[in-house]
Structure 1
Amino acid sequence: MAVLGAFLAALGVTDAIRDTSQGRVSPARRYTALAAGLVTLGALLAAGGVPVATGLSVGVPLAVLLAIWAHDGAIARAIGETPGLAIAFSAVSLGIVVALLFGDPVHTAWPSWVPGPLSEIPVSRVILVGGIALFQVATANLLVRLILEAVNVPSKEGSARLRSGRVLGPMERLFIVGLGLAGNLTAAAVVVGAKGLLRFPELAASESRGSSGPPPIIIQAAGAEASEKGADTELPTAPVDHGPNPVTEYFLIGSFASWLLALGGLGLAMLVWE
């Protein structure tokens, strides 16, 4: 449990410092973010009481996967390239699998100077919950962007139209995870419904802007008749149908991806909860 929490926390710290929202990340910032993530990983493994042998056998592969995630060129330079997407998803997925399969359950007591009810909660559980929370704040935001790019939904236009999404997303995920850990996951439906209601005016405005103009006109029959008669008539052209509004796609796919990441974090917590 402590190993999984340490890896998730290291990812969250790395992405919070790296900040890929601007597209390009300088090498100095990437190295700083990676160093902070590695320090977080090692410190939490030690704080969780993970034995040295387990820490080396599990911590080294996790550190390598963290480095791959932090230095993936496609993420750092131009999010959306197919090789970069595969590498990014693989690094996070393999890290979670390694932490689940090879992280020994360890129960470490708090120091004697820690008072109150906190001392009654296992240290590994605190590390796990903290790691899931950090993961939901920064890393999950980046994963949502990668999912949007993977299905060819550009995130720049959607984020420009639906402002505050990168702030509301983490708050929403933390709320869902918190309600789930508290045993009241049903109340998370209120969050989902409220988000749809609050965003509905913006989505409706985007749809109206996207569908402005005359309706499509079927001109095949008229065109055939005009060509038979040899008439020199300029026929109206039908507007090109570009498919669903990209802002609506951004909202729907991004929201579902965000919810799935929140439920995934909750599922990991339930899987290793002791």
Structure 2
Amino acid sequence: MSWIAVLLIGVAVADLAHAVRPVPVVDECVGAAAAVLVGLAAGLTEPVDVAALVTIAAVVILWGQTVTRGFGRGPAWLPLLVIAVALAGAVAVSGKAAPVGGLVADWLDTVGVPVLEGVDPTRFLLLAAVFLVQLSTGNVVVRLVLTATGTMNPSRRERPAHDELPLKGGRLLGPMERVFILGLGLAGQLTAASIVIAAKGLLRFPELQSKEDQARIHQVTEYFLVGSFASWLLALGSLVLLAP
């Protein structure tokens, strides 16, 4: 599982770098470098581990390049295919990966945070990885899914001049929602997580039931459902990776 954690960390760092300051090529190189450094700090120094780190760095760069094209005029499904194949491959060969050790394990042995006492280093690194993925990478995946399925954001259509400006809090609410669901799932409170999901639907219910513009309501409903399910599946999929 250590290779999976390093891969997710590299992808997450690349996406975070792009979210903070988008610089072509540089962002994915930052993510690739972060993946290699984390892997070395985790004691993944055996020949097979080094080969895996080189492969992971190449995948992170490929991810960044295909995402950039997917947000432009390129196929939006391609980066989704890249990460899906990479994760499937990492899962398939995960048994050959060395357990996390090195500086990461040494730090865990000396850290004074009670919640981290006795935590397996490999599980800790995987937990850190899936947490980072919930941030910017989650938004990237949701946007790619919406683009690949041709689900248009209604706020981008032409609107009358008197319409209110569209809210932009989704980029923040999405990560908060995913982290919240992940935390509840790790705490064994999946029922509470389902309540959060239901509450989101209730908050949008008045807008979805409006009769002012039925065509736009259908678009809003589709956009809301596709985006929300993609976001929720990312958080729930992370819980599957963390399952004992």
- Name the TM-score class by shorter chain: 0.7 to 0.9
Does 1:60 find its partner at 2:38? no
1:256 aligns with 2:226: no
Which residue number corresponds to residue 106 of structure 2?
Answer: 110
SS of the residue corresponding to residue 84 of structure 1 reads coil
**TM-score normalised to structure 1 length:** 0.74
Q: Which amino acid aligns with 2:111?
A: V
Match of 1:266 among 205, 215, 239: 239
Distance 2:34 2:70 in 1: 27
Aligned partner of 1:197 among 181, 185, 202: 202
Aligned pairs, number: 230
Shift of 1:37: 0.5
Aligned-partner Cα distance in 1 for 2:41–2:185: 26
- 2:182–2:238: 8 Å Cα contact kept in structure 1? yes
**Cα shift readout 1:223-251 (whole Å, capped 9, x = no counterpart):** xxxxxxxxxxxxxxxxxxx5862111111
1:6-58 CA-to-partner distances (Å, cap 9, x unmatched) read: 111111111111139xxxx96xx133311220122012212322233132221
- Native 8 Å contact 1:80 1:150 kept in 2: no
Matching residue's letter, 1:114: V
Once the two structures are superposed, the pairs formed by residues 93-132 of structure 1 within 5 Å of their partners are 93-103=84-94, 104-108=97-101, 109-111=105-107, 113-117=110-114, 118-132=116-130
Out of 76, 88, 92, the position equivalent to 2:83 is 92
Q: Mean Cα displacement is larger for which, 127-136 or 35-44?
A: 35-44
**Aligned-residue CA RMSD in angstroms?**
2.6
Matched, 1:208 2:199: no
In structure 2, give the amino acid aligned to 1:115. G
Q: Percent identity?
A: 34
1:48-84 residue CA offsets vs partner (Å, 9 max, x unmatched): 2223313222122221111111112xx3256275x52
Matched, 1:45 2:36: no
CA distance in structure 2 between the partners assigned to 1:243 and 1:113 by the alignment: 56
CA 84–62 in structure 1, closer or farther in 2 if over 3 Å, else same: farther
Does structure 2 conserve the Cα–Cα contact (< 8 Å) formed by 1:132 and 1:265? Answer: yes
Contact 1:144 / 1:258 at 8 angstroms: preserved in 2? yes
- Is the Cα contact below 8 Å between 2:75 and 2:148 reproduced in 1? no
Relative to structure 1, is the Cα distance of residues 68 and 116 closer, same or farther in structure 2, using a 3 angstrom cutoff?
Answer: closer
Contact 1:177 1:266 in 2 (8 A): yes
1:96-245 alignment, distance < 5 Å: 96-103=87-94, 104-108=97-101, 109-111=105-107, 113-117=110-114, 118-155=116-153, 157=155, 161=166, 163-204=168-209, 207-211=210-214, 245=218
Asked if structure 1 preserves the Cα contact closer than 8 Å seen for 2:76 and 2:148, the reply is: yes
Compared with structure 1, are the counterparts of its residues 268 and 70 closer, same or farther at alpha carbon in structure 2 (3 Å cutoff)? same
Q: Is the 8 A contact 1:12 1:135 kept in 2?
A: yes
Shift of 1:163: 4.0
2 CA distance for matches of 1:46 and 1:156?
46
User: Any idea what SS the aligned residue of 1:120 has?
Assistant: coil
Residues in 2 aligned to 1:7 and 1:120: alpha-carbon distance in whole angstroms: 24
Deviations 1:161-206 (A, max 9, x none): 46422211111111111111222211101111211122223434xx
Q: Distance in 1 between matches of 2:93 and 2:106?
A: 24
Cα offset for 1:254?
A: 0.9
Question: Who wins on radius of gyration, i.e. which is larger?
Answer: 1
Q: Quick check: 1:58–1:98 contact (8 Å CA) kept in 2?
A: no
Indicate the SS of the match to 1:208. coil
Deviation at 1:4, TM superposition (A): 1.1
Instruction: Give me the whole-angstrom Cα distance separating, in 2, the residues matched to 1:127 and 1:119.
Output: 14
Do 2:4 and 2:87's aligned partners in 1 also have CA atoms closer than 8 Å?
A: yes
- Give the Å deviation of 1:107: 4.6
Task: Please tell me whether residue 4 in structure 1 is matched to residue 14 in structure 2.
Answer: no
